[in-house]
A = this chain, B = another copy of it.
Amino acid sequence: MVLSSAGRFDLVVVGTGPGGYVAAIRAAQLGMRVAVIEEDRPGGVCLNWGCIPTKALLSGAALVEDLTRHGETFGITTAGLVLDYGKLIDHSRKTADRLCKGVQGLFKKNQIELIPGRGRLAGPTSVSVNEEALVEGAQILLATGSTEWVPPGIDVDGERVLTSREALESKRVPARLVVIGAGAVGIEFAYVYAMYGAQVTIVEMADQMLPGADPDVAQALQREFRRKNIEVRLGTRFEELKHDGSGVNVTVSQDGTTEELACDQVLAAIGRRALSDDLGLEKAGVQVDAKGFIRVDDTLRSSVATVSAIGDVAGGPLLAHKASEEGIAAVEFLAGIDRPAIDHAAIPACIYCEPQVAWIGMTEAQARETYGDVKVGKFPFTASGKAIAAAHTAGFVKILAEPTYGQIVGAHLVGHGATELLPEIGLALTLEATTAEIIGTTHAHPTLSEALLEATLAAEGRAINF
């Protein structure tokens, strides 16, 4: 082992996903000498194999649907529509490449040293790289993220059986696709493949799509998916799959009855697990919980004072923006900045199919449990002038407020462009704003964002346009 020629860093970050790279930049801004260690492409799963490349696919899928479903409404007809999914994958990879290069540019601009290789803790203030070099840091930040969790019995071969990782490079649209899991990943891929021509069936063990989401939202999405001829089977358990040269048979069970689903390809989108098992945590004495997530306190420090952890590997909602926020917070805590802890109750969740799904704060059930008689306001996009003009009237906005002061406690949206409407409610949660303050804010007409205003008015029993 040799000591890195660079000597000791103020901060060594392991992993360059949206947690790690953002933390590194913030640390550099605060005057720290920073190294980042990355064994794969800078940018992590989010940028290379997750959030970003899937949004490229979803943008194409939305355009296909707009054209085929609404084109005639707008006087647009096409004699011979050809969909080349391979080109869509090319755009998706180019998008990831561009952003990956962007992250490397940001490292240079901020004088952050990028060390390629596999980082493992070698002690409380040192990280080994490929078990060859040793990088010393006054502080270590673990940001290694998570990876697909595939249950036993599913053999991912990249041809017949894929996870999102393989799907992002696969240029083929199967005739019949079974998606196992109706979480964000399963739903987004189901939508993309369906729009590019696949017959898609989603199998979900829970009794709603998006387990954990407000049931109103989940049901509305399910209705819309059925309209798109995407089959959604809830309360249905994956049992096993067999595949040969001609196709795949997926065995599922519902209420004790088993059934075989014949298809051409299976996408396993069941869940993710923390990438903490080969990180050398035991060498430094860093503790993990029963699921393998690194235990951290409110300041994101692990059980070892010189080791912090952020993002997916530290548990909580496995979301890129949560990782980024934690990255900034962890570094600011290390720098001694007096700042609040991350409010995990105000982390938005977004699903980017059409209609989009977006929420922040409490579900209605959680709000009722906390406050009793909650103020609930709902506004459907069928009553929105902008939505009607755009031929995108699916979905609604639901606003939740606590009963005494009307403080906003949650928002749940299904609809076109819903993911872009959350920040107003995000700021409302940050500032503990009330319905009166949302109502006192002029919303531009005609925008979809007026639905936030109308739902808030409805929560106070004074909706105007519904």
By a beta-carbon cutoff of 8 Å, the part of chain A in contact with chain B is 18, 22, 25-26, 29, 46-47, 51-53, 55-56, 58-60, 63-64, 66-67, 70-88, 90-92, 95, 98-99, 102, 106, 196, 319-322, 324-325, 328, 340, 346-350, 358, 383, 385-386, 388-391, 417, 419-424, 426-431, 433, 437-438, 440-450, 452, 462, 464-465
Contact = CB atoms under 8 A, between A and B. Distances in A.
A63 B66 contact: yes
B447 A320 contact: no
A420 B86 CA distance: 32
Which 5 A/B pairs are nearest by Cβ-Cβ distance? A79-B80, A60-B74, A75-B87, A75-B84, A78-B78
28 contacts: A52-B389, A59-B389, A72-B87, A73-B91, A75-B90, A76-B82, A77-B81, A77-B84, A78-B78, A79-B80, A80-B80, A92-B389, A99-B385, A346-B442, A348-B444, A419-B444, A420-B420, A422-B449, A423-B424, A423-B441, A423-B443, A424-B427, A426-B441, A426-B442, A426-B443, A427-B433, A429-B441, A431-B431
A388 B98 contact: yes
Contacts of A18: 445
A75 B81 contact: no
Nearest to A87: B75
Given A82-B79, A417-B420, A428 B427 contact: yes
Contacts of A81: 76-79
A106 to B, nearest CB: 7
A465 B84 CA distance: 32
B79 A79 contact: yes
Contacts of A452: 423
Contacts of A79: 78-82
Determine chain A's interface SS by DSSP, over half rule.
helix
Chain copies in the assembly? 2
Given A319-B445, A324-B445, A71 B63 contact: yes
A65 to B, nearest CB: 11
Given A55-B390, A75-B86, A99-B385, 7 more contacts: A52-B388, A60-B74, A60-B76, A75-B87, A321-B442, A426-B443, A431-B431
Contacts of A47: 385
Contacts of A442: 321-322, 325, 346-348, 426
B388 A95 contact: yes
A448 B431 contact: no
A347 to B, nearest CB: 5
A64 B59 CA distance: 15
A360 to B, nearest CB: 8
Contacts of A448: 420
Contact of A437 (B320, B350, B389, B427): B427
Contacts of A74: 59-60, 63-64, 87-88, 91
A166 B46 CA distance: 50
Contacts of A102: 383, 465
A375 to B, nearest CB: 16
A103 to B, nearest CB: 9
